Amino acid sequence: MSDAPILEPLNLVADFDAAGDFEKKHTPFIVVEQADDGYHLSVTVGHEVAHPNQPDHWIGWIELLVGDAAVARFDLAPMVTAPVVSVVLDVEAGTVVRAIEHCNLHGLWASEVTL
Ligand SMILES: [Fe+2]
């Protein structure tokens, strides 16, 4: 666990590959596949660098926003679950989707993808 301070209310990581381990541990990693029924999004927290999932340190929720609208939210328990969620979005090409996650110790982290 890191004691690194949270310097911003929302930590938006624009370049996952350039991020350090602490940022990678918290940044939602979005994978998109286009299909006949829409865009299939899978969001993982802890991609490349695993995030703890225990009662004193865990990912409490993951939310997806299309523009300013929250379109999906997944509440996660500190045990048993893993911070991996998926959803299908029926939206236009060029739509920006933001994924936000909340770590109980390290606050809000976000990433975006343009479909
Ligand atoms: Fe954390």
CA 1 to centroid of ligand 1, rounded, Å: 7
CA 89 to centroid of ligand 1, rounded, Å: 28
Q: What is the pLDDT of residue 9?
A: 86
Neighbours of ion ligand 1 (CB under 5 A): 103, 105-106
User: d(Cα 93, Cα 45) in Å, to the nearest integer?
Assistant: 25
User: d(Cα 62, Cα 45) in Å, to the nearest integer?
Assistant: 9
> What pLDDT band is residue 81 in, cutting at 50, 70 and 90?
confident
Listed in sequence order, the DSSP H helices in the chain are 21-26
Please provide the DSSP assignment of 89-102 as one string: E---TT-EEEEEEE
pLDDT (tens digit per residue) in 23-33 = 999 999 999 99
User: d(Cα 102, Cα 78) in Å, to the nearest integer?
Assistant: 12
Q: Hey, what domains does the chain have and what are their CATH numbers?
A: 10-114 (2.60.40.730)
CA 99 to centroid of ligand 1, rounded, Å: 16
Cβ neighbours, 10 Å, residue 81: 14
